[in-house]
């Protein structure tokens, strides 16, 4: 297959990466997208680095076997170990942490609140990327042990989601007067309305848009744009295909083909 006709791979521990697919379809409507979501093993954010690495390599192999031209790692938790993945995988891997951090630097934000999985926060990957270019930017982070799993279980709002959001964001606000909140887990924009209802004063940052621009730039550099008018979306999941169809509909994605895949572990 000609390089420009090959699909873009997208992976996540679950449904969260569909928020990146939404931005990719807006930015690059002609691209075919192949998505893998490992909902049988979600949340990755409560696992060890070695477990995350092993599970992610299985997703990468699945996508690489289908000849993707690059892979958008639409998961902040996995993106924190992108160096380790790049060391063994030749296919271009685009990290959403690098995309989110570059947005904060480019906008010259003096301070940013950040809500993510506990793993993402513990790795300090955002802090390191932001401080490499903006050493004075104050990054006020808090991990949630349960929000990604709640959303991946089909809870898209209501009391359980709002209580968890308030618990973690109140903690951030008690430590600094933040005006911007980075949604540093791709599941979280699915419940953006709950964030807005709880904190209408905060400006929410979804790094997915920035990641879609990074993919666009890579395709430009390599001459890999697919010029067809409209691309396809194929989703594979180790979880419930109905959940993916539901979230795809909520995010306004054009009707995808959703297939079940056997468990990875
Ligand atoms: N969407 C993933 C992220 O961005 C969720 C991680 C998890 O499974 O814990 O971090």
Tell me if 78 CB under 6 Å of ligand 1. Answer: no
| Residue 79 to residues 28, 196, 211, Cα–Cα distance (Å) | 22, 26, 12
Distance (Å) from CA 2 to ligand 1 centroid: 33
pLDDT value for 265 = 63
* CATH of the domain spanning 98-207: 3.40.50.1860
Question: CB-based contacts of 13: which residues, under 8 Å, 6+ apart?
Answer: 37, 38, 39, 41, 42, 43, 44, 45, 55, 75, 77, 78, 148, 152
pLDDT value for 237 = 97
Distance (Å) from CA 187 to ligand 1 centroid: 6
Q: Are 21 and 33 in contact (CB under 8 A)?
A: yes
Question: CB-based contacts of 46: which residues, under 8 Å, 6+ apart?
Answer: 117, 118, 119, 145, 149
Tell me if 148 CB under 6 Å of ligand 1. Answer: yes
Q: At what angle do helices 18-27 and 208-222 cross, to 10 degrees?
A: 50
Whether residue 75 lies in the annotated active site = yes
Instruction: Give the nearest ligand 1 atom to 75 CA.
Output: 4
* CATH of the domain spanning 3-95+209-260: 3.40.50.1860
pLDDT value for 254 = 79
Phi, psi of 239 (to 5 degrees): -105, -145
pLDDT value for 1 = 76
pLDDT value for 7 = 98
Distance (Å) from CA 223 to ligand 1 centroid: 31
Quickly list H helices, the chain. Answer: 18-27, 49-65, 76-79, 82-86, 96-106, 118-123, 125-133, 147-152, 159-175, 192-198, 208-222, 241-250
Domain residue limits, the chain = 3-95+209-260, 98-207
Tell me the best of 55, 185, 211, 247 to mutate to test the pocket of ligand 1, counting ligand atoms within 8 Å of each CB and taking the most.
185
Give yes or no on whether 3-95+209-260 and 98-207 have one common fold: yes
Tell me if 188 CB under 6 Å of ligand 1. Answer: no
Q: Which residues of the chain have pLDDT under 50?
A: none
Whole-angstrom distance, CA of residue 79 vs CA of residue 210: 14
Averaged pLDDT score across all residues of the chain: 96
Tell me if 56 CB under 6 Å of ligand 1. Answer: no
pLDDT value for 256 = 86
Catalytic site residue from 70, 75, 137, 155: 75
Tell me if 12 CB under 6 Å of ligand 1. Answer: yes
Q: Are 209 and 9 in contact (CB under 8 A)?
A: no
Tell me if 120 CB under 6 Å of ligand 1. Answer: yes
* Cα within 13 Å of Cα(160), Cβ side: 11
The whole-angstrom distance between residue 222's C-alpha and the CA centroid of its chain comes to 23
Tell me the best of 73, 77, 238 to mutate to test the pocket of ligand 1, counting ligand atoms within 8 Å of each CB and taking the most.
77
| Residue 168 to residues 45, 48, 164, 196, 227, Cα–Cα distance (Å) | 16, 22, 6, 14, 44
Whole-angstrom distance, CA of residue 200 vs CA of residue 239: 33
Tell me if 45 CB under 6 Å of ligand 1. Answer: yes
pLDDT value for 50 = 98
Whether residue 70 lies in the annotated active site = no
For the beta carbon of residue 70, count every other beta carbon within 10 angstroms.
Answer: 20
pLDDT value for 149 = 96
For the beta carbon of residue 254, count every other beta carbon within 10 angstroms.
Answer: 11
């Amino acid at each position: 297959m000609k390089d420009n006709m090959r699909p873009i791979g997208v992976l996540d521990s679950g449904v969260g990466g569909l928020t990146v697919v939404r931005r990719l379809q807006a930015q690059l409507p002609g691209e075919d997208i192949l998505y893998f979501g490992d909902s049988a093993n979600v949340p990755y954010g409560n696992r060890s680095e070695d477990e995350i690495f092993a599970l992610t390599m299985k997703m990468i192999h699945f996508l690489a076997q289908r000849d993707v031209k690059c892979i958008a790692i639409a998961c902040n938790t996995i993106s924190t170990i992108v160096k380790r993945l790049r060391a063994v995988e030749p296919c271009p891997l685009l990290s959403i942490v690098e995309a989110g951090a570059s947005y904060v630097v480019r906008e010259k934000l003096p301070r940013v609140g950040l809500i993510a999985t506990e793993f993402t926060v513990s790795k300090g990957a955002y802090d390191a990327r932001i401080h490499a270019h903006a050493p004075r930017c104050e990054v006020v982070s808090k991990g949630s042990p349960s929000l990604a799993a709640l959303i991946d279980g089909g809870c898209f709002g209501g009391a359980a989601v709002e209580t968890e959001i308030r618990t973690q964001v109140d903690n951030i606000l008690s430590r600094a007067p933040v005006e911007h909140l980075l949604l540093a887990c791709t599941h979280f924009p699915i419940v953006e309305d709950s964030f807005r209802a709880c904190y209408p004063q905060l400006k929410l940052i979804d790094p997915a848009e920035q990641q879609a621009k990074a993919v666009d730039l890579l395709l430009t550099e390599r001459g890999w744009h697919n010029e067809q008018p409209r691309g396809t979306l194929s989703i594979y999941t180790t979880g419930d295909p109905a959940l993916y169809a539901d979230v795809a509909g909520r995010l306004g994605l054009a009707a995808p083909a959703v297939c079940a895949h056997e468990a990875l572990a």
